[in-house]
Structure 1
Amino acid sequence: MTTRADQTAGPAAVEPPRLLDTGEPDTFRVPVETGHPYLAQHLVQGRRVLPGVACLEMALRGAARVRPGARPFAVRDAAWLRPVYGDEPLDELSVAFRTAPGARETDYTVTNRGALCAMGTLLFEPQDRALAVGLEVRDEICAHTRSHLTRAEIYEEFSNMGIDYGPYFRRNSYVQRHGQRSLAWLSHNDGTRIGLVNLLDCAFQSGMAISIGEHRDSLMPFSMGHMVFHAPTRFPLGSAFVLTEKLSPFRTNFTLFDEDYEPLLSVFDLGVKPAL
């Protein structure tokens, strides 16, 4: 299926929207053009919708300005309260930060024209947590799977759910499934580079792919317990692997690995709900 999203971008690097000073302390305006791949290549029921993970990316970039030199080790208690649509004015989309004196954590909020869209807390001290999904799950899937979905099959099914992704968000080259677990390979074999936003969005897609053939509900994130960075990551990536485990129809854990299966980050307790 060819969509408007398919026609909007090629393999060039995608630059994130700029962070603009507002004159208010620790607050940045992040205007997003409707033609930006984050919107133009992410259609839900025909509407341009900013991926929830773009709010995480805004928060991480903004924190680097607010706390220069401080490394974020995790995001805690993230929530997406209101979708950001491409058919509404986005010139006042903003991210703001609040840090208590001496604290090793910073709260962030994403708003558009005063409406709260997303929030969470960035942690600036090391996190001693195991992987959300370990490599033993990879071995189990490889030994027992009888389900191998190709890129074409994955994105055709998503289109049937009402979610149309453009090239930037079509990084899942295959998904292998076994029970409520999956192994996915994200690649840039068509030249499209993998940055933080399409990396995280495609990891979320691999969780939806577990249920392909069972139901056709389109889902969107609304909460996340923790996202822990196991190692610093340099973008763009060439490829990545994702191990995912569904805890319930609306709760998922996943761990992202580089192409050598070194862990990059884990997401614990990602909550999803029906889209729009």
Structure 2
Amino acid sequence: ALAGEGVTRFVELGPDGVLSGMARESAGDDALLVPLLRKDRDEETAALTALARLHVAGTRVDWAAYLAGTGARAETVDLPTYAFQRQRYWPSGALTRAGDVRFAGLGAAEHPLLGAAVELAGTEGSDGVVLTGRLSLQSQPWLADHVVQGSVLVPGTALLELAIRAADEVGCDTVEELTLSAPLVLPDHGGTRIQVRIGMPDADGRCALGIHARGEDDVQAPWTVHATGILAPAAPAAPAAPVNEVRSDFDASVWPPEDARAVDVTDCYERLADAGFAYGPAFRGLRAAWRRGDELFAEVALDEATDGSAFGLHPALFDAALHAFALDDDGRGGVPFSWAGVSLHASGASTLRVRLIRDADGTMALELADPAGAPVASVESLVVRPLAAGQLSAATHDSLYQVHWVPARGTRAAEASSEPVTVSGVAELEALVQGEVPTTVLATVSGTADGVVGSVHDAAVWVLELVRSWLADERCAQSRLVFVTRGAVTGDDLTGSGVWGLVRSAVSEHPGRFGLLDVEPGVVLSAELLGAVLAVGEAEAEVAVRGGEVLVPRLARVVSGAGAAGADGAGWGVAEGTVLVTGGTGGLGRVVARHLV
């Protein structure tokens, strides 16, 4: 079956199946040796396998001669494409996708808590860098393990981690100072947007820093400043100091420290829970502690389910390094308030050896190293402060809104389309519409002498008749009927307040057909002011005039602690602290009840 070139000789193996040295030398080093006879295999199979191996190696095999007389035909069949052909079909080049922040003109922040980075363009002194991100219990579930006073509080070490990442972005090595101005509480659902703003460096290379946050579902709420600080470049190292060496007498390679006595930490987190710090598994990192004089040593480690490789220093691990202080005061010392002189020397640590020193005034200093004794981070100064009762609940955005009357913008008397006509009843209105209907018709609302209940009822019936008559006549379709009250929005005129409630329903059902105007009692509108009011009324369904100024209503969030009566700080005036909320189990009722609590 072998034809042509390729086979020069057959070599017989020895009885032990090993090729003799003489035979190997005769065959040559580059020869392919295949067995024609194999133990435990029939001759036909062994010979066919040998031919196949020679064929694969490039030897021509006359398969037609081999198959002669068997009834089989020697045909060429296309084999499947080689599975590892390495032919790439993806387009080459730096293309961007919709899910890529570059698609929006941003740069990747390359940090688990941050999504994008953008360098601000502007005139000299106004540009800088902004890092943006989103925090939520769904995206960062480990944050749910940091519960303080019943609220999920973003730990101060997380804000410090953001500051360290910001320093790296602008080429600074040290967080010179970072002061936490407001607690950052995460909602149970949804997320919180964060911005880390870095200013331009001054003459010494220092950059101002601000960390801001706002709920992602409340685009009208102001950004809250949660931390401010200063980033600084590294100080020039002494000529003899190796790079990244931290000059300290803390020898973390000797562990536990010499002459230090062990401290029992078995009930540490139970004591912290009693103080309001309900830490979950991700933050229960304190493993052991020792004391030597005024020094406190601790060993902390990340939970196995928490990966810290992508962080400079995982906030849960850093926070656990502070838990050893709770051994002295059962956690009643508080939470981090001000950091100073923070430097990160190595990233991605999962286990730390920590030395903590507290001064007489309560200021702390920390040094952190890895299990080999190499420095990881250092803190020159840390000040903690206790949280006041209810401080975290006050930091949570409330869900109640109230009406604020704000000045109308960009209105002039000349913008009024026509002079208004005043009517006082249905008969006058019917007579008016017999001719050309004015663009605006005013209906003045006044009370009766039948008492509050009778006056409100009579006015509501009268207004309802006017509304029905106005809607029934097609000639009024391009005009507006405006009801004028005095003191209705302030509650001075309950009759007018009832009318406002009724007409609001008509406005919602027939936009542009009705309007409401409230004027201070005893004030007569000038022609110019009335013209401005009517001009505003073309775009606003509700208008008020106070002190000669045209006002329009806008919803604003109720400030926590200001009371439900408004921003003036007036309280509810509830006797003995009891409030009856009608429909208190409904959606709005629950919101009101929670606000009161």
Instruction: Say whether the fold is shared (TM-score over 0.5).
Output: yes
Distance (Å, rounded) in 2 between the aligned partners of 1:180 and 1:269: 16
Deviation for aligned residue 1:50: 0.4
Aligned residue number for residue 152 of structure 2: 48
Q: Deviations for 1:186-223, whole angstroms, at most 9, x for unmatched residues?
A: 224745334511232122222333x1xx5551511111
**1:260 and 2:372 aligned:** yes
Show structure 1 runs of 4+ deviating over 4 A.
21-25, 127-133, 136-141
* Structure 2 SS opposite 1:53: helix
* Structure 2 SS opposite 1:275: coil
Higher helix content, 1 or 2? 2
Match of 2:298 among 171, 184, 191: 184
Contact 1:127–1:228 (CA<8 Å) still a contact in 2?
A: no
* Structure 1 SS opposite 2:136: coil
Distance (Å, rounded) in 1 between the aligned partners of 2:175 and 2:182: 19
Match of 2:232 among 112, 123, 130: 123
Aligned residue number for residue 75 of structure 1: 175
Report the number of matched residues.
251
Distance (Å, rounded) in 2 between the aligned partners of 1:200 and 1:243: 12
Distance (Å, rounded) in 1 between the aligned partners of 2:151 and 2:234: 39
Aligned residue number for residue 431 of structure 2: none
Deviation for aligned residue 1:249: 5.6
Distance (Å, rounded) in 2 between the aligned partners of 1:99 and 1:187: 37
RMSD after superposition: 3.2
* Structure 2 SS opposite 1:248: coil
**1:199 and 2:300 aligned:** no
User: Partner letter of residue 225 of structure 1?
Assistant: A
* Identity score, percent: 20
Output the TM-score relative to the length of structure 1.
0.77
Match of 1:234 among 341, 347, 366: 347
User: Partner letter of residue 119 of structure 1?
Assistant: T
Match of 1:59 among 140, 150, 163: 163
Deviation for aligned residue 1:164: 1.5
Aligned residue number for residue 4 of structure 1: none
Higher relative contact order (CA 8 A, sep 6+): 1
5+ residue gaps, structure 2, are 1-110, 121-127, 214-221, 239-244, 389-597
Distance (Å, rounded) in 1 between the aligned partners of 2:303 and 2:183: 31
User: Partner letter of residue 323 of structure 2?
Assistant: Q
Distance change in 2, residues 1:28/1:143 (3 Å): closer
Matches within 5 A, 1:27-38: 27-35=130-138, 36-37=140-141
Rg larger in 1 or in 2? 2
Matches within 5 A, 1:86-105: 86-87=186-187, 91-100=192-201, 103-105=204-206
User: Partner letter of residue 136 of structure 2?
Assistant: E
Aligned residue number for residue 63 of structure 2: none
Distance change in 2, residues 1:257/1:136 (3 Å): closer
User: Partner letter of residue 151 of structure 2?
Assistant: R
Deviation larger for 90-99 or 139-148: 139-148
Matches within 5 A, 1:102-251: 103-112=204-213, 113-126=222-235, 134-135=249-250, 142-150=257-265, 152-188=266-302, 190-194=304-308, 195=311, 196=313, 197-209=315-327, 211=328, 214-229=329-344, 231=345, 233-235=346-348, 237-248=349-360, 250-251=362-363
Distance change in 2, residues 1:149/1:84 (3 Å): same
Distance (Å, rounded) in 2 between the aligned partners of 1:206 and 1:133: 21
Distance (Å, rounded) in 2 between the aligned partners of 1:168 and 1:132: 31
* Structure 1 SS opposite 2:359: strand
* Structure 2 SS opposite 1:92: strand
Distance (Å, rounded) in 2 between the aligned partners of 1:187 and 1:256: 12
Deviation for aligned residue 1:52: 1.0
Contact 2:368–2:378 (CA<8 Å) still a contact in 1?
A: yes
* Structure 2 SS opposite 1:159: helix
User: Partner letter of residue 16 of structure 1?
Assistant: P
User: Partner letter of residue 179 of structure 2?
Assistant: A
Distance change in 2, residues 1:131/1:156 (3 Å): farther
Contact 1:75–1:227 (CA<8 Å) still a contact in 2?
A: yes
Distance change in 2, residues 1:94/1:107 (3 Å): same
Contact 1:138–1:183 (CA<8 Å) still a contact in 2?
A: no
Match of 1:16 among 109, 112, 116: 112
5+ residue gaps, structure 1, are 1-14
* Structure 1 SS opposite 2:137: coil
Contact 1:76–1:121 (CA<8 Å) still a contact in 2?
A: yes
* Structure 2 SS opposite 1:242: strand
Contact 1:32–1:90 (CA<8 Å) still a contact in 2?
A: yes
Higher strand content, 1 or 2? 1
User: Partner letter of residue 181 of structure 2?
Assistant: L
Contact 2:252–2:371 (CA<8 Å) still a contact in 1?
A: no
Aligned residue number for residue 485 of structure 2: none
**1:84 and 2:184 aligned:** yes
User: Partner letter of residue 279 of structure 2?
Assistant: Y
* Structure 2 SS opposite 1:30: strand
Distance (Å, rounded) in 1 between the aligned partners of 2:115 and 2:360: 37
Distance (Å, rounded) in 1 between the aligned partners of 2:191 and 2:176: 26
Deviation larger for 250-259 or 161-170: 161-170
User: Partner letter of residue 199 of structure 1?
Assistant: L
Distance (Å, rounded) in 2 between the aligned partners of 1:132 and 1:115: 38
Distance (Å, rounded) in 2 between the aligned partners of 1:39 and 1:82: 17
User: Partner letter of residue 301 of structure 2?
Assistant: S
Distance (Å, rounded) in 2 between the aligned partners of 1:127 and 1:78: 22
Q: Deviations for 1:81-119, whole angstroms, at most 9, x for unmatched residues?
A: 110011398533211110136652222101124221101
Contact 1:147–1:178 (CA<8 Å) still a contact in 2?
A: no
User: Partner letter of residue 226 of structure 1?
Assistant: G
User: Partner letter of residue 298 of structure 2?
Assistant: A
Output the TM-score relative to the length of structure 2.
0.38
Distance change in 2, residues 1:59/1:228 (3 Å): closer
